[in-house]
Amino acid sequence: MSEAATPASRSQRLRRLFTTSLRVTEWTFAGLRLVLFMACAFLVSWVVSYNPITWDFTEAQLFSLSAMSRSAMSALDQPVTLTAFVQGAKDPSVERLLKAYADSSALVDYRLVDPEAEPALAQAHQVRAYGTLIIEAGVSVRRADGPNEPAITNAILGATRGDAVPVCFLAGHGERVPADKGRGGFSAAVTALRQVNYEPLQLNLAAGQLADTCRVVLIAGPTTDLLLQERAALDAYLQNGGRLLVMLESNTDLPELEALVAGYGLQVNADFVIDTGRNGQAFGLGVQVPMVDSYQPHPITDGFGAMTLFSMPRSITVGTVPEGIDARPLASSTPSSWGETDFDAVAMSRWDEGVDRRGPLPLVVAVSEALDETPRAFRQRTGAAAPVGGPILVAAGDVEFATNAFFKWQGNGDLFVNSVSWLAGQEELISILPKEPSNKRVLLTEGQKALTFALLVILLPAVPAVAGVFMMVKKIE
């Protein structure tokens, strides 16, 4: 028996040994897989910690730099250092913002400093509160008004470009007031200009003030006409290289101002544009508020895809343009529009054959010097997508689009600031302004409120209750 049992026991031992070896192998490979997984997880964590990737899904891109700031950073030609004085040298929101600037340009560096840990540095920059930001570019030092994008971009531009560029609002003819914070004022536009290193000033030609100190002169909705000598002064200003932005009111008679722009081939028509094809009715406005969502190629509108609204704008016809001048419409109404000439029938406007002008009608026109070379040669030399010569003026048949009431609507503010930047010769600032959080509200009618209450408060809780009662009854049966 012992001899017969020996092979069987030996076979059992071999089988157990094989099984044990197999289990050891399985546990070994399981351990190796666990170690490999932990190593990969650690490697991914290490890579992400040093190279974080973020996505900004907010509608207004609140956690990303605006295209204008990125454009300004890409145009830097000297190193810039951003120093933020924060408690404990730690502030995630400030660091995230400053890192966005550093990521947008290799010339930008940043650091967070605790003013209590480095009192000498804080004293040298006269830091008296947490959140102070200092921008240094060479020997130039600027202080940002706060840890926010507009203030930082403005300070960087000030440090790298020097003093703010003066742009002047003409006064004395019933124009919109720059400091006015009401719906018809220009305070939002003034704030936006200061964010990109412009200094808005007031200009009164009748008082003997000269426009020569202004990079751009803005005429914002005058209700009375220029004096003859004022028109002559502005004409001389343009002839000597000045730039002009004209924004007109509807139903105003301004022969001197209209004659000034007519010298560059523009005819301002005595009408207001009605657009039944694309208008502001969806936003509680009327057909007398045309909406524009497509634009002609131009540096002002390069890459511009936002919609703009205009309130009762006058149409502008590009007529016979003098030699050496290029005039091109930027924004126009749709083919379903017309220029209404009856100002007494705003609410009941209709197309009158032979009286009203049929669309599309230009609402904004840019005038520049004609190119001495072909557009193709200009593109090859400069890389510009929409080649134009030196800027002269921009004429808009509406002033409301840039007022506080409409400035922050979609692309209205961008169109205004881009026009000023093109006229000022700072095309690198032509882009999209930083956006603010928008207050999104759902407005319901009384019927919609009643329907919502019935569905959510009555019907939705009642469905499971009725289903439960039905099941209990079926079970009892």
Domain ranges for the chain, please list them.
24-53, 67-150, 164-429, 445-477
Predicted local distance difference test score (pLDDT) of residue 384: 67
Is 247 exposed, middle or buried, given 0-12, 13-18 or 19+ CB atoms closer than 10 A? Answer: buried
3-class state of residue 284 by DSSP: coil
Angle between helices 187-195 and 412-423 (to 10 degrees): 60
In 388-438, alpha helices (H):
412-423
What is the DSSP secondary structure assignment for residue 244, as one 8-state letter? E
pLDDT digits (tens, 9 = 90+) for 445-460: 677 778 888 888 888 8
Quick one: CA torsion of 136, 140, 144, 145, rounded to 10 degrees? Answer: 160
Predicted local distance difference test score (pLDDT) of residue 1: 46
67-150 carries CATH number 3.40.30.10: yes
Computed over its alpha carbons, how large is the radius of gyration of the chain?
A: 33
Q: Is the pTM of this model over 0.75?
A: no
Partnered with residue 326 across adjacent β-strands are 368
Is 302 exposed, middle or buried, given 0-12, 13-18 or 19+ CB atoms closer than 10 A? Answer: middle
Residue ranges in the chain modelled with pLDDT below 70: 1-8, 49-63, 145, 346-349, 382-385, 428-445, 477
Residue showing tokens 């032979």: 354
Which tokens sit at 390?
A: 């030196």
Which tokens sit at 26?
A: 């399985």
Cis peptide before 329 (omega within 30 of 0): no
Quick one: CA torsion of 462, 464, 469, 470, rounded to 10 degrees? Answer: 110
Structural fold of domain 164-429:
Rossmann fold (3.40.50)
Predicted local distance difference test score (pLDDT) of residue 146: 73
Q: How far apart are CA 336 and CA 323, in angstroms?
A: 33
Q: How far apart are CA 419 and CA 363, in angstroms?
A: 14
Residues 366, 370, 374, 379: is their CA dihedral positive or negative? Answer: negative
Predicted local distance difference test score (pLDDT) of residue 305: 76
Element counts in the chain: helices (H) and strands (E): 12, 18
Q: How far apart are CA 362 and CA 271, in angstroms?
A: 12
pLDDT digits (tens, 9 = 90+) for 93-125: 888 889 989 988 899 999 999 999 999 998 888
